A and B are shown apart, each in its own frame.
Chain A
Amino acid sequence: DAGVIQSPRHEVTEMGQEVTLRCKPISGHNSLFWYRQTMMRGLELLIYFNNNVPIDDSGMPEDRFSAKMPNASFSTLKIQPSEPRDSAVYFCASTQSGQPFSGNTIYFGEGSWLTVV
């Protein structure tokens, strides 16, 4: 299996521009998570989808952030307009929820390293 695939791996953009991060979860997984990692705040859960439906978006920092999951194999996290304080690593992760013990493992992508200047 190819694992969780994220793109772009690195992006540098100017303040005010729109940023779109993409994620392809592991085939067969029905839960998808977006996390943000910064030095100051560590790993924070932004939003969580189950069967393509957003379940908990309480971690989304503000209205500039939005996430979609149009189908089981694709999700996007969009920041519009971007600000320098959005600079972070954004991780996508997936799992097959509802499985017994051995199946509840969450796998992470390699991350999208965003710098807003």
Chain B
Amino acid sequence: GEDVEQSLFLSVREGDSSVINCTYTDSSSTYLYWYKQEPGAGLQLLTYIFSNMDMKQDQRLTVLLNKKDKHLSLRIADTQTGDSAIYFCAEMNNNAGNMLTFGGGTRLMVKP
């Protein structure tokens, strides 16, 4: 079945850029998503990218997609302490229903 992998942990200093990486195996992925989960809260959709795009920018967030390598990244510019959370990468294959397959999440810690 599909597999989505992320590194477990990332630590950055406030004001630096953060880059969270994700790899996936399903070459038929239609959409790829980034969700944010703060402690004790649900999953908040941050951004998404369609598989025929290679980049999407939304304010401080930049998503890069390398479809050949099945690699997705989320760059957060000027990282703030409020960005500390777990970030989940997810992929959807429209041909398999609208189900999301999630990575294990990357815990981002932002130090002041």
| B-binding residues in A (CB < 8 A) | 31, 33, 42-43, 45, 48, 50, 55-56, 91, 93, 95, 97, 101, 104-111, 113
Contact = CB atoms under 8 A, between A and B. Distances in A.
Interface string B23-50: 0000000110101000011111100101
A99 B4 CA distance: 24
B11 interface: no
A99 to B, nearest CB: 10
Interface of B is mostly: strand
B97 to A, nearest CB: 6
18 contacts: A42-B103, A43-B88, A43-B105, A48-B99, A50-B98, A91-B42, A97-B97, A97-B98, A104-B30, A104-B31, A104-B92, A104-B98, A105-B33, A105-B45, A106-B98, A107-B45, A108-B42, A109-B42
Interface centre among B35, B43, B44, B50 (most CB of A within 10 A): B43
B97 A56 contact: yes
A55 B50 CA distance: 24
B98 A31 contact: yes
A48 B43 contact: no
Interface residues of B, number: 24
B48 A105 contact: yes
A45 B45 contact: no
Contacts, number: 55
A48 B102 contact: no
Contact of B41 (A31, A101, A110): A110
Nearest to A99: B98
Nearest to B40: A113
B43 A91 contact: yes
Contact of B104 (A33, A42, A110): A42
Contacts of A101: 31, 50
Nearest to A6: B42
Nearest to B102: A43
